[in-house]
Structure 1
Amino acid sequence: MENLWPSLYKYGPDLTPYPDLVEKMLTETHENNLSVPEGHTRYTIDIIQNATWSDGVPLTAKDVAFTFIYIIESGVYGNPAGSDYLDLSVSDATTTYRCVIEFTTESYWLFSDFAFDYIIPEHVLNSTEFMGYDKWNIWNPVFDSDTPNATCGPFTFNAFESGDYYEILMNPLFHYSIDPFDIANTTTPLTSPPPTTEGHSWTPMVTIPTSIGSAVVIMYCLLKIIQKRRESP
Structure 2
Amino acid sequence: MLNCNVIAIDLAKNLFQVCKTQSNGKVIYNKTISRAKLKELLIKEQQSLVAMESCGGTHYWAQFAKQAGHQIKAINARQVKAFRQGQKTDANDALAISVAARQPHIKGSRLLSVQEQCLQGIECMRDLLVKQKVSLGNQLRALLLEFGYPIAQGDTKLTQAIPEILEDAENSLTGAFRFTINRVYQRFTEAVEEVKLIEKQLHEVIKEDQTCIRLQALEGVGPVCAILIKIALGNTTHFKNGREAA
TM range (shorter): under 0.3
Greater strand share, structure number: 1
Question: What's the TM-score once normalised by structure 2's chain length?
Answer: 0.23
Pair member with larger Rg:
2
Question: What's the TM-score once normalised by structure 1's chain length?
Answer: 0.24
Query: Which structure has the higher relative contact order (CA within 8 Å, separation 6+)?
Result: 1
